[in-house]
Structure 1
């Protein structure tokens, strides 16, 4: 006689599965298919994978079937991995009164919301805010401010340090906030591991001209009315001697660390095992943007190199998609800096000259959907 678990404990077991395993479970029998297709399970997967999506932030009433939404978003997310340089349209905007700094999406494109388009914001050196996506901001006096959206009403002000805040990073699911000042700390970079909300990788320098990478797992422990934060070291290594000092670092969902050093990309495990060296760049890497799908490397000649992570962390780990050349006729590449962001349909980068104070906002958008 076939024994069947009640649906409630079966649903609790299925809550530990990823999307692929959940799809497989749905093929077993009618009861498993009913439970595996439940909105509750697929909503959990959706919100966990895309915590910044509008559907994850209060618009979930628009969704009737979370499984369909999850699968549609996954297909949409992968469309840029098929893109070539000719598949992008190009626009630019300039700012001559002050260099533009870090740029962020107010919201990204979401295929579940009809008519929604990506909106970005940037702050210039003359303190001009180009949009209103400012949730948490650090200042030169060491204070961290929290604001509401979109009216920018101040909620709180916390004194974090006696010196300025240079690095301020919110974890993917908004549970943690990492802050430090580069002048007083040996940390030069910090990256949260995508979809691993309590893990962060820190780049540090302890020995002259030697760079190290430390991975921490964070937990909270409540003692009486006080909550303590505990950081457990789960990986730590120094870069090999043949790798020059690196200023750029990112982490994949499979906990692979990618570094930019000179014209090369290096891929490590969190314990320091070198998996691959990517050497298809002609000039040095000036900027690196990494998320759970893509790696965007900008080189000194202005070229933007688009890579995607191989699924499951398989060899060769990174796959080259295309190169987007620097095409602006209004800008001379002398002394400059970059910032690059992207969503499923667009890539935005800011190029700012340190000598002239002139900035260009460069927007690459997919012309048509490449989904099958």
Structure 2
């Protein structure tokens, strides 16, 4: 059978085994092959194999999936190479008159790659008493575009005393939004887990777990994002730093009685070398991997304590870690950001160290205090020597 006698459906089936470079070459052979290679079915599968979420629902059309794939993969290539001016533009966003306390993206998953249009909106809060939102891609004077933020009136739904002594130091919500781990200020108290369904359904019985079995001084907690409710807790037992992980589940005792139970998954002891005696930052990745920064070092561990990788790319302390399914970015007081990418492998997760993003001059800045990243930009908080912070935004060119 000759290639000319194949139906378009047969050609599409054969093309489904090709990678993107081969598919693009096949499209140049003749009109029939081009028609088959442009099929929505092929490019939709290409996109969904590479990315879990593709936001093209508002842009119907035969060419949408192909354009989405080519634009987004091109942007990922630029985020992996990080060539100044060629791959990204950098600008300072000024406006706050004090320390920037926190920042968060408001535009998660809103990028429409198929049209070549992207928009990253970053929200910041400051000690100057203001909340600001910035369009990272907006070019101009560097002052950014300020948005007015509105919210519905808030009313109290539930109030409950969690600890008999002391207050609440910090709370962390699970990736599925169903659980909140509450950390007490009183070191004599242990962490507890709260079921958020009770907050939205106040008529139901309050479900609060027994204290988690970690009685030592807690240092850091983080969720493992690929599990609905798996948390890792770093604590100091007086001699060593230990990391213990739990799965939070509801255990049905009877028809009307349910309890929150913390099922231990694993635990291990961290090495006690000098760099690990400093302040630590911990983030989760997947189901079984945690990243820990202490001093100048960034390390990857399995939940059972196997050290997977170690990096020492900064020459001053690491101040924060950003982790998502594609990238890891660290900020440091050496006034740089270090960008890593996850390596596609069926074995243990591994990182590739890519490049540094520089934050300016130490004459005016003391270093990066925090960093955040989305699919198209990286934003860091730069601590000013005069007590006034700015944002340093790196927007990758589509």
Q: Does the 8 Å CA contact 1:212/1:239 hold for their aligned counterparts?
A: yes
Q: Does the 8 Å CA contact 1:187/1:204 hold for their aligned counterparts?
A: yes
Distance 1:169 1:113 in 2: 35
Task: Determine the structure 1 residue equivalent to 2:223.
Answer: 192
- Structure number, greater radius of gyration: 2
- Equivalent position SS for 1:244: helix
Does 1:340 pair with 2:398?
Answer: no
Could you give the per-residue CA deviations for residues 287-324 of structure 1, whole angstroms, max 9, x where no partner exists? 22222221112222111110112123647811011101
Distance 1:168 1:44 in 2: 34
TM-score scaled to structure 1, two decimals? 0.68
Task: Determine the structure 2 residue equivalent to 1:365.
Answer: 395
Does 1:305 pair with 2:335?
Answer: no
Q: Does the 8 Å CA contact 2:301/2:307 hold for their aligned counterparts?
A: yes
Task: Determine the structure 1 residue equivalent to 2:127.
Answer: 125
Q: How many residues align?
A: 305
Distance 1:326 1:287 in 2: 15
Task: Determine the structure 1 residue equivalent to 2:235.
Answer: 204
Q: Does the 8 Å CA contact 2:368/2:380 hold for their aligned counterparts?
A: no
**Aligned residue among 171, 174, 188 for 1:171:** 174
Structure number with higher relative contact order (C-alpha < 8 Å, ≥ 6 residues apart):
1
Gaps of 5+ in 1: 1-22, 25-36, 133-148
Structure-to-structure mapping, 1:100-139, within 5 angstroms: 100-108=100-108, 109-111=110-112, 115-131=117-133
1:359 Cα offset (Å): 0.8
- Equivalent position SS for 1:319: strand
Cα distance change of structure 1 residues 73 and 89 upon mapping to structure 2, 3 Å threshold: closer
Distance 2:343 2:104 in 1: 26
Q: Does the 8 Å CA contact 1:98/1:357 hold for their aligned counterparts?
A: yes
Structure-to-structure mapping, 1:141-290, within 5 angstroms: 150-159=150-159, 161=162, 163-181=166-184, 184=187, 186-208=217-239, 210-222=240-252, 223-242=254-273, 244-245=276-277, 246-253=279-286, 255-290=288-323
Does 1:83 pair with 2:86?
Answer: no
Q: Does the 8 Å CA contact 1:85/1:323 hold for their aligned counterparts?
A: no
Cα distance change of structure 1 residues 80 and 269 upon mapping to structure 2, 3 Å threshold: farther
- Equivalent position SS for 2:132: coil
Distance 1:167 1:106 in 2: 22
Distance 2:120 2:71 in 1: 15
Task: Determine the structure 2 residue equivalent to 1:8.
Answer: none
Q: Does the 8 Å CA contact 2:234/2:244 hold for their aligned counterparts?
A: yes
Kindly report the root-mean-square deviation, in angstroms, between the aligned alpha carbons of the 2 structures: 3.9
Does 1:351 pair with 2:354?
Answer: no
Distance 1:249 1:196 in 2: 17
Task: Determine the structure 1 residue equivalent to 2:195.
Answer: none
Could you give the per-residue CA deviations for residues 346-371 of structure 1, whole angstroms, max 9, x where no partner exists? 00111235x743111111111x23xx
TM-score scaled to structure 2, two decimals? 0.64
Distance 1:228 1:75 in 2: 46
Distance 2:185 2:338 in 1: 28
Distance 2:346 2:333 in 1: 28
Task: Determine the structure 2 residue equivalent to 1:94.
Answer: 94
Cα distance change of structure 1 residues 81 and 127 upon mapping to structure 2, 3 Å threshold: same
Gaps of 5+ in 2: 1-15, 18-40, 135-148, 191-216
Q: Does the 8 Å CA contact 1:194/1:292 hold for their aligned counterparts?
A: no
Distance 2:72 2:259 in 1: 37
